Structure formats: structure tokens, C-alpha cells
Amino acid sequence: MEIKQLKYFIEVAKREHLSEAALELDIAQSAISRQITQLEKELQVTLFKREGRNIHLTDEGKHLFTEATKIIDQLDETIRLFHNQSESNHFIIRIGYVESYISQVLTLLIQAFENKSDSVVEPILMEESDILNALLTDQIDIAFTELTQTLKQNSSLKINPLFEENFHIYVPKDDPITMATNPPLIQFSNKMIYELYALPSNIRQTLEKVVETPIRTVTHTQIAQYLLNKERGYIIAPSYHLLDKNPQKWVDVSLEHTELRRTICSVVRPDNRKNDLQLMLTTIEQLLSRSATYH
């Protein structure tokens, strides 16, 4: 049984006239007759009584008319539902982003975009390992993520490098490292290192190759400041995460000269035709496409 057979049957049943149904459906009368015959054969019933040029529904035909009407109505309602949902989704820009400087400026970006557009933005914080697949499977429209070799090698994506993200480390004031110019990471090898919030996985891996002791995580600036005050360790963080200045207790040492750096980019699929996506990309370019935005 096919949907078109039910539709043909319903039109004939409403009119009890083949030629009128054919005219309404804009198909040949013979095509309708053929489909009705196939439907009767499959159901093993007679749907119409034929009396010369006139046809009338049988009891089985009346029963099928009731059920077929329900099926087609439900089908039409389902189609309308998805069309409405699709139209609504066309005005939603879903942004997937990894924890980075983007988190600090995302509100500004959303406001700037929504002030010029009828579309709305849904921000979604994601893991680095999930974000590319989400973009490729249309779960998100734009990705803010690290520019990796995997991304560079994917010619099906439109990639826009935005800025380089660097890191810094807070060191107790009397530590000899504070006197060094551009100290290499190896000088921190035997130190107790705390990350202020979780570092990006590749940055942490690079650091772990140098540091001999396990890297601990703290998630509050007051804890980080307490550890520094007690000279219990060093606090490493992205350049946009800052502690209150306390020159009597600790010194902020930049690590931008080291390999602890990454490039953040925006990524889209060129075949994405969502409404106002180009406006969002322009807004991103205006607000974010510059090096060291947060310095």
C-alpha cells in the first residue's frame, strides 16, 4: 500500500466519479483506475461497486475511506509540523564553542548580531573532541575551536583564524624565576603547578611533558590566591584569566614566548544556507578577527 494509492482512493471516494477525481489530481483516469485496482488486489476486497459509469463505495470501501482519511490527515499534519520547525530553525544560529577567550566576548558578539538580525543565537559550550562532528552533522552552524591540523586538512570547511591564545603563570614574589627574561618551561619542571580552571587538553599535555609533579586544578581565584600567599605552588592560566594584583606576594610571568599557545578560529560549512549566517560571520570578523584581542 502506497500513500499515493490512498490519496487517489480518497479523491475517487469523495466524488464517486473517476473522471472528476482525475481532473482534480491532474492525472490520467487510467492511472487512477490502475492504482485502485492494485489497492483492491493487495487488500483483497472490493472498494467500489461499478454500475455503468457510476461507482459507489462498498462497506469495505467506506471503512477504508475512514481509515485512509485519518492516515493522510496525520501525514499532512506531520509535514506541516516539520516545515514549521524547519522554518523556525532557519532563524536560529547555533554556536558551538570550546572554553577559551570566546567565552569572555560571546555575550558582546550575540548582542551585536541580534541587534541587526531577526535570528537568535544559541551558544553551546562543547568539548574540543565533539565540536567538529557537531558541525559536520548540522548540530551547530558555527564552531569556535582550536585550529588543528585536522581542521586545516579538511577542504570542505571554511576556516577563519581569529586570534592566538597565550598563557601566563603566577609565581611567588621571591622566586628566582621572576628575575629571568622569558624563562623556558623547563625551569618549572620541579615546581608544583596548579591550573586555574582546566587547561585545554593539548596545552596540558605539553606542560605535562616538562613538569615532574602532577598538575592540580583549582576552580576559584580565591583558592589560587591563597596558594600563592602560602607559596605552595604556581598558578597557570590563559591570559584572559587574571588574579588581583598583589606585588608583595606574587608576580605575573608571561608564557607567550613558550610553546604554550594555540590559535582559535571560526569554522562553518560553506553549504550552510541558514538565514543571516553571513551576517554573523561578518560580525565575527568585525569583533574578533585580530591578534591578541584580550591584551
Q: Which domains does the chain have, with CATH numbers?
A: 3-89 (1.10.10.10), 93-295 (3.40.190.290)
Q: Report residue 264: phi and psi, to 5°.
A: -95, 135
- Among candidate residues 218, 210, 216, 191, the one with its CA nearest the CA of residue 259: 210
| Interval 176-193: pLDDT, tens | 999 889 999 999 999 999
Provide CB contacts within 8 A for 212, sequence distance 6+.
Answer: 189, 190
**114 contact partners, CB below 8 Å, separation of at least 6:** 120, 121
Burial 111-139 (b: 16+ CB within 10 A, else e): ebbbeebebebebeebeeeebbebbeeee
The whole-model pTM stands at 0.67
Ranges of residues in the chain with a pLDDT under 70 are 80-89, 290-295
pLDDT at 293: 42
Q: Can you give the pLDDT at residue 81? A: 63
Q: Collapsing DSSP states into helix, strand and coil, what is residue 63? A: helix
Contact 161, 237 (CB under 8 A): no
Rounded to 10 degrees, the C-alpha dihedral 182/186/189/191 comes to: -10
Q: What is each CA distance from 198 to 115, 166, 191, in whole angstroms?
A: 33, 14, 18
Helix (H, G, I), strand (E, B) or coil at 164: strand
The reported pLDDT for the residue numbered 86 is 53
Report whether 193 contacts 236 (CB < 8 A).
yes
Number of H helices, E strands in the chain: 10, 11
